[in-house]
Chain A
Amino acid sequence: EPEVTQTPSHQVTQMGQEVILRCVPISNHLYFYWYRQILGQKVEFLVSFYNNEISEKSEIFDDQFSVERPDGSNFTLKIRSTKLEDSAMYFCASRGGTGKYETQYFGPGTRLLVL
């Protein structure tokens, strides 16, 4: 069964450093998402991406964040200058494009720790 994959599974970085989290969505999917889950809190929407542009973003997704689909398979989330409060589990998800009833499928997550 096709699945969403994410790398790395864990990332430790120093405050102020840039990090890039990588995702390989399901191959025929057209919509891509990033969510995050701070330890002990709920899963929160960050951004959705379709047709090579952001279709929606939350207030969390400020200028420090960016997303990109650099080739036909990868979908990346970049945090330009990490803060302590960026420590969280980051989930990538993808959705097929056959209609609004399509379901989002999630990857296993990247646990980011900012020191």
Chain B
Amino acid sequence: AQSVTQPDIHITVSEGASLELRCNYSYGATPYLFWYVQSPGQGLQLLLKYFSGDTLVQGIKGFEAEFKRSQSSFNLRKPSVHWSDAAEYFCAVGLGGGGNKLTFGTGTQLKVEL
């Protein structure tokens, strides 16, 4: 069965600093990869996704992520964090097919210091 690991439960960065959130997955083939963000009281909003092709994908709000097959990783990055980026970030994998259920990591809570 596929699994997703987000090793950092909490991360604190200063506003304007760069950000990298880690995600590793375990699966025999290349899954479909997603990053979602959840602000307090809100649902899960899709930031970006990787299905195939270019391994560097751009998302909304200035986020990007790079798929590295050799490391089974899909880390999320942002060059300059804004205070409004404080939220919980979830990495997820899907196997495609008709059902296409998602398997989520445990999430990383991002705090931004002003």
By a beta-carbon cutoff of 8 Å, the part of chain A in contact with chain B is 4, 6, 31, 33, 35, 41-45, 48, 50, 55-56, 58, 91, 93, 95, 100-109
Contacts and interface: CB of A to CB of B under 8 A. Distances in A.
B42 A108 contact: yes
Contact of A103 (B49, B98, B104): B49
A35 B96 CA distance: 17
A93 B41 CA distance: 16
A100 B100 contact: yes
Interface of B: 32, 34, 36, 41-46, 49, 51, 90, 92, 94, 96-107
B71 to A, nearest CB: 21
30 contacts: A6-B43, A31-B98, A31-B99, A33-B101, A42-B90, A42-B104, A42-B107, A43-B44, A43-B107, A44-B104, A45-B102, A50-B98, A50-B99, A55-B99, A56-B101, A58-B101, A95-B100, A100-B96, A100-B97, A101-B32, A101-B51, A101-B96, A102-B100, A103-B49, A104-B46, A104-B94, A104-B100, A108-B41, A108-B43, A109-B43
A102 B49 CA distance: 10
A101 B44 CA distance: 18
Contacts, number: 63
**Ordered nearest first, which 3 A-B pairs have the shortest CB separation?**
A56-B99, A106-B44, A108-B43
A103 B43 CA distance: 15
Contacts of A95: 100
Contacts of B42: 108
Given A42-B104, A103-B49, A106-B36, A55 B98 contact: yes
A49 to B, nearest CB: 9
